[in-house]
Amino acid sequence: MNTVGIIANPASGKDIRRIVGNAITVDNQQKLSIVKRIIVALTASGVERILIMPEQFGFGKRALGDFANRDEVQRAVEILEMYVDGLPEETVQAAERMVEEGADCIIVLGGDGTSRLVASVAGDVPMLPISSGTNNVVPQFIEGTVAGLAAAHLSQQAEGLHDGMVWRHKRLVVKVNDEAVDHALVDVAVVDTPYVGSKAVWEPELVRQVFVTRADPGHIGISSIIGMAQIVDPRDRLGACVRTGGAKTVRTTMLPGELVSVPIDEIQAMQPGESVPVISKRPIVLALDGEREVVLYEGDEASITLQTDGPWMVDVDAVLKHALEENKYTSLD
């Protein structure tokens, strides 16, 4: 039975970085509309089972209520049975359940942080992230209907026959005292504060070191500290890192609606498998994909390792091209 999972984060895209930068937010009614368009495309394309993560806003329940007269939606949609309290761990739990239930693809509505959580347990199940967060380097600005069409076609391919339709994202593995404790998909920032606090990183003067898997001037967030000086292609094998406080100044788009100058040293390339030490100052915090997560205390030794074994990502254009080649959207009279 072909199966597609949907994980929508009601909290994404609403933190202090959006307020400081006077940026738009994607409210939950808009996200609900996206979820509904995804469901319509999935069911119209023959997807038999749609698993939806429960959360406090209730995207799945609201969609089912709005589609009360559409039998194909009522048959296909299942809301996972799990307790929800608005915690990040629930995203991980839902993704694990979807993998266990045989999902062929997981559609994710959120930002880089939500994608990071899903990626931690997705394994070989391809992800299709849709942008609705604050930092949106991994997620795509893609119409929900189109995302549903792509996920449906991918789910109907024979197992393992995804050549050319998916690609593997890099990741940065955080090691503390030689133990892997977490990972990031886009960037790790070393932030000069002893506290996690509200998690969001919005004070560029506190950033001491940056590691990236990808960077370019078209993206908002910490990766722009490197991206406004050098492009790091998401599909090549290299990453990059830099220390701040050097002689060169780069104007970054670290925050939406802001251009801030950050002094940096020379940018260094990172090879796959290469571990780069985190600066020695303690206590200090590591922010993963824009959110402060790991506190380093006195005596902690930490490093960041670039790896090429990250999550599989759906190439929407390639999937739709494959569907056209199979005459998926045409028929003879």
CATH code, domain with 200: 2.60.200
- The pLDDT of residue 136: 83
- The pLDDT of residue 18: 47
- The pLDDT of residue 327: 87
Residues 157 and 184 in one domain: no
pTM of the model: 0.94
Cα–Cα distance list, 195 to 20, 58, 246, 292 (Å): 20, 32, 25, 8
331 in a structural domain: no
Residues 236 and 109 in one domain: no
Domain that holds residue 43: 3-169+311-325
Is 50 exceeded by the pLDDT of residue 57?
A: yes
Is 80 exceeded by the pLDDT of residue 135?
A: no
**Sign of the four-CA dihedral 96, 316, 42, 102:** negative
Is 80 exceeded by the pLDDT of residue 146?
A: yes
CA distance 182 to 174: 5
Strands (E), the chain: 3-8, 49-52, 77-79, 105-110, 127-131, 166-168, 171-176, 179-184, 187-191, 207-212, 239-252, 260-264, 268-270, 275-277, 284-288, 291-296, 302-307, 312-314
Domain total of the chain = 2
Q: Give the H/E segment covering residue 227.
A: helix 224-227
> What mean pLDDT comes out for the span 177-186?
97
Residues 163 and 207 in one domain: no
- The pLDDT of residue 148: 98
Residues 140 and 248 in one domain: no
CA distance 183 to 197: 19
Residue-wise pLDDT for 69-114, tens only, equals 999 999 999 999 999 999 999 999 999 999 999 999 999 999 999 9
How much of the chain exceeds pLDDT 90, in percent? 83
> What mean pLDDT comes out for the span 137-148?
95
